């Protein structure tokens, strides 16, 4: 199969502009290939993430990981977690377990596009170009999005859009 296709735009560049948060990781670097443990082949361990510059009025946080380069019309969601308390500023390595038992109380996870809850590591098709994995943290103006774990990642992102006060991204890559 020929996977030659146009490069998808950076997804958050297409949305209304909001102030920037600083998103960093002890496990990942922006623009650098993702280490093995954070890929599907390496065990699908969610990376450590920490953020700062959360604006006043933030009542909760949402985190997502999206692959805009997946050969689908709508990209591929690898992780979506929301209703995180506003007063936390990080998640440890491995927080995105399917059970969610390493997340703060009250946090919720949607099913990734592979159909399960939790973080699904990078897994581009063999032979395809390097994919970008856009990790995003969103500061929200509501304590809860009022959604269930059966809500799709796209619906979570759409709902959060109307509550986003600030956003930060970190974009490692991966290629087989």
CATH number (domain holding residue 86): 3.90.280.10
Residue 6 resides in a domain = no
Alpha-carbon torsion (9, 25, 51, 44), positive or negative: positive
Residue with tokens 């604006």: 55
**pLDDT tens-digit map of 115-162:** 999 999 999 999 999 999 999 999 999 999 999 999 999 999 999 999
pLDDT, residue 176, reads 87
pLDDT, residue 55, reads 97
Residue 3 resides in a domain = no
Count CB-CB contacts under 10 A for residue 48.
17
Residue 14 resides in a domain = no
Residue 16 resides in a domain = no
**pLDDT tens-digit map of 47-77:** 999 999 999 999 999 999 999 999 999 999 9
**pLDDT tens-digit map of 77-101:** 999 999 999 999 999 999 999 999 9
Taking CA 54 as the corner, what is the angle to CA 67 and CA 50, rounded to the nearest 5 degrees? 55
The whole model's pTM is what?
0.97
Residue 66 resides in a domain = yes
pLDDT, residue 3, reads 79
pLDDT, residue 2, reads 67
CA distance 129 to 121: 17
Residue 4 resides in a domain = no
The structural domain count of the chain equals 1
- Separation of CA 7 from chain center: 19
Residue 56 resides in a domain = yes
CA distance 166 to 156: 16
- In this predicted model, which residue has the larger pLDDT, 5 or 36? 36
Query: Domain range holding 151?
Result: 25-174
Residue 12 resides in a domain = no
């Amino acid at each position: 199969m020929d996977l030659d296709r146009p490069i998808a735009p950076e997804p958050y560049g297409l949305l209304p502009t909001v102030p920037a948060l600083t998103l960093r990781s002890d496990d990942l670097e922006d623009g650098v290939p993702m280490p093995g443990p954070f890929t599907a082949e390496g065990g699908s361990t969610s990376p450590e993430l920490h953020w700062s510059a959360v604006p006043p009025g933030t009542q909760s946080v949402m985190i997502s990981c999206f692959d805009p380069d997946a050969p689908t019309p709508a990209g591929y969601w690898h992780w979506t977690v929301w209703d995180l308390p506003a007063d936390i500023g990080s998640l440890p390595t491995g927080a995105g377990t399917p059970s969610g038992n390493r997340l703060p109380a009250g946090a919720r996870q949607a099913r990734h596009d592979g159909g399960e809850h939790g973080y699904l590591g990078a897994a581009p098709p063999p032979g395809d170009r390097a994919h970008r994995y856009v990790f995003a943290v969103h500061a929200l103006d509501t304590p809860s999005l009022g959604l269930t774990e059966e809500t799709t990642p796209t619906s979570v992102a759409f709902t959060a859009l109307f509550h986003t006060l600030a956003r930060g991204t970190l974009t490692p890559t991966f290629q087989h």
